[in-house]
Amino acid sequence: MGAALTFVMCYTEGDKFLGFIVTGDEMWVFHHTPENKQQLMGWCHTHSAMKNKFKTSTSTNRVMATVFWDRKVVLMVNCTPHRTTVNIAAYCETQKGLDVQLKTEDEE
């Protein structure tokens, strides 16, 4: 509640403070995403052979993609290498990279 009130007070003084807000999100990105039934449907002639749907599974090869942005630009996209454990050390390295990126943005 206190943080929300602080933001409201800053906003009433103008929106300059919005430039200082950086947010981010992360998601697993798979190397292969199988088609679903809807993607296999399409217009075809009534006498055309039906498409076969093979049972596929989601790829086990994946990377963790982390994106940080402010209100103007994407600041950083970080992809964790394959077979890397995402733990506190990995998050700290990502944060260090973001800090470097923010410093270079301030200098420009």
Q: Which helix (H) or strand (E) holds 8?
A: helix 2-12
Higher pLDDT, 85 or 22: 22
Helix (H, G, I), strand (E, B) or coil at 108: coil
Helix (H, G, I), strand (E, B) or coil at 31: coil
Question: How far is residue 3's CA from residue 79's CA, in Å, rounded to a whole number?
Answer: 31
What pLDDT is recorded for position 37? 61
Q: What is the mean pLDDT of residues 52-62?
A: 62
What pLDDT is recorded for position 104? 83
Residues in the chain: 108
Identify the residue whose tokens are 């088609």: 35
- What's the pLDDT band for 52 if we cut at 50, 70, 90? low
Domain definitions of the chain by residue range: 22-33+60-107
What pLDDT is recorded for position 32? 66
Q: What is the mean pLDDT of residues 14-26?
A: 81
Question: ∠67-61-23 over CA atoms, to 5°?
Answer: 10
